[in-house]
Structure 1
Amino acid sequence: MKQKVIEHVCKEHVYVAEDGTEFKIEAECLRYEKLCKRKSYIEKAKKIQIKDLDGTVPLGYGNNAECNYYIWYKLRDKEDINTLKNLYSKIRFYRITSFPTIICLEIYDENYDGEYWYDDDVWVTSLDDIKAATENFWKDFGYRISFENADKDK
């Protein structure tokens, strides 16, 4: 944000956003710039989102709340993690050690602003976590299971 002074009869401060949009109130300019950055992260997040899986509750996930929504992503690298960290500042990633990987975000359903979910508490479950929970479930019943990728392109 830049600030410029327009001199007419009296001095008037004008705040200029990075894209050139002008504001008379600094807080409005800062809010606008934050919204612009958020929109760029939303666009990046949409590119890695697996829309066909959205709403699907992860297996082995005992805290399923009816008021939560589940969003799935395929992360290709650490840049994708940074995109989600910038979109959801309260997000915490654990145990993601290799790429590509698939994760699910659990977020409150009412935190949808008409375009995308906004920043609030976000819980992360990786596909590896889901596989481990599934294996442990069947192990408790005396079974051993394994996973085989049916589609080599995924």
Structure 2
Amino acid sequence: MSDFSHLNDKGQPTMVDVGGKQPTHRTATARSIVSLPPEVLEKFAADDIQTKKGSVFQTAIIAGIMAAKKTGELIPLCHPIGMDNCHVAIQLNEQQEVVIDCTASITAKTGIEMEALVGATVAALTVYDMCKAMSHDIVIRETKLIEKTGGKHDFKRS
């Protein structure tokens, strides 16, 4: 009926049955980019932004990891999985944008890309939350999969 893996032959939502699959090592990296206005960027010192709520990037890193672990609870048809590892890195790029990379890995029957995407997204939302008292002119520009390995297909964004 459909090329969508989460629809059955009647077009109804379904969880993908991974029971017959063999576990493989899987990794995924997702990236979110946040644009901050000058009044927030001027608070950047060393490698983080300090606010009354605390360290922006350190808080976002923890939030991203916590969110990645809860992906199966947040996305209705995702399998609940236990990650082997999750790493969130945050830095400013040349355009003075906050670049958040979330890399997750697991050896399992199903993938880890949604965990990486959720981790990067929630880290970006946490940057917004931590900085909104200084300005609401904050834009979460994009979240995208950068790379994934394992499973049916590997993917690498050029």
TMscore range, shorter length: under 0.3
Tell me the TM-score normalized by structure 1: 0.25
Bigger share in strand: 2
Larger radius of gyration: 1
Work out which structure has the larger RCO, using CA pairs closer than 8 Å and 6 or more positions apart in sequence.
2
Structure 2-normalised TM-score?
Answer: 0.24
